[in-house]
Amino acid sequence: MKMIFDLAGVLLRWQPHEFLSRLLPERCTTPQATRDLTLSLFQGFGGDWSEFDRGTLDAGPLAQRISRRTGVLLREVRSVIDAIPDELQPVPASVDLLQRMHAMGKELYFLSNMPEPYARHLEARHAFFQMFRQGVFSARVQLIKPEPAIFAHARDAFGIGDESVVFIDDVAVNVVAARTAGWRAIQFHDAAQCESELAEIGAIS
C-alpha cells in the first residue's frame, strides 16, 4: 500500500486564524475580525495565493497585490508571508504516525500545495522528509490541488497504480478530487482519526 500525504494541516501545523491572531493582534480584535482577515488575505488559498502556490507569482508581487486588494499595510502583509515557513512546525502525533508507517515498510510520498521558498525551507529544516520516497510540491510543477492534472502528474511521477493508493489531506475538496482521480482518500482531522480510518480500510494493521 502506498500512502500519499498532504503537508500543511496534516504533518505540519497550519491554523491560519490562530496564526494571524498572534502575528497581527491589532487587526484580530474579535473572532469575526480574525475570520474576515483570514479570508481577505488568503482567499481560501485561491486568487492571488493560488498563483504563489503554483509558482507563477513571487512573494514580493504577491504582497503588493494583497495590500492593494485588502488595504492591509504592505509591511503587515509581508510579515505574514515571511512568517509562514517557521509557522509550519511538525505535528508530533502525525509525524509519529508517519514514522510507524515507515517502519511497517509502507511506501510514503507527499503531494503539497506549497510555494517554492517555503518548500526549500521545509526540506532543509525537517528530517521527516527523509522517510518519503518522493514528493511533489505544486510550485515545482506549476499545478495545484484540486486540479485533476496534479493528481495525474503525481501518479506518473511516483509510478503508482490507483488501486494501491491512499491519499491523506485535510481539505475536503482535495479529498474529493483525489477520489475522482481514482484514489482512496481520507480527510484528515487528527492523527488518531486518520490512523483509525486507515485501519478500517486495511491500509495498516
Could you give the dihedral angle defined by the CA atoms of residues 173, 165, 91 and 86, in that order, rounded to the nearest 10 degrees? -70
pLDDT grade for 46, boundaries at 50, 70 and 90: confident
pLDDT grade for 75, boundaries at 50, 70 and 90: very high
Evaluate if residue 144 carries a pLDDT over 80.
yes
pLDDT digits (tens, 9 = 90+) for 2-38: 999 999 999 999 999 999 999 999 999 999 999 999 9
Evaluate if residue 161 carries a pLDDT over 80.
no
Q: What percent of the chain has pLDDT over 90?
A: 91
Evaluate if residue 205 carries a pLDDT over 80.
no
The whole-number pLDDT of residue 191 equals: 97
Amino acid sitting at position 89: Q
Quick one: cell of 105? Answer: 515498510
The CA distance from 120 to 140, in Å, is: 11
DSSP-based three-state secondary structure for 191: helix
Angle between helices 31-42 and 16-23 (to 10 degrees): 100
The whole-number pLDDT of residue 162 equals: 63
The whole-number pLDDT of residue 99 equals: 96
Mean pLDDT of 67-76: 96
Evaluate if residue 197 carries a pLDDT over 90.
yes
Do residues 105 and 131 touch, judged by C-beta distance below 8 A? no
- CB-based burial, 67-106: b 16+ in 10 Å, e otherwise: beebebeeebbbebbeebbebbebbeebbebbeebbeeeb
Cβ neighbour number for residue 177 with a 10 Å cutoff: 20
Q: What is the pTM of this model?
A: 0.94
Evaluate if residue 40 carries a pLDDT over 80.
yes
pLDDT grade for 160, boundaries at 50, 70 and 90: confident
pLDDT grade for 200, boundaries at 50, 70 and 90: very high
Nearest to 181 by CA among 139, 140, 141, 153: 153
Cβ neighbour number for residue 174 with a 10 Å cutoff: 24
The whole-number pLDDT of residue 52 equals: 96
pLDDT digits (tens, 9 = 90+) for 123-142: 999 999 999 999 999 999 99
List, in sequence order, every beta strand (DSSP E) within 12-117. Answer: 107-112
Handedness of CA 197, 199, 202, 204 (dihedral sign): positive
The CA distance from 123 to 66, in Å, is: 27
Q: What are phi and psi of 168, to 5 degrees?
A: -125, 120
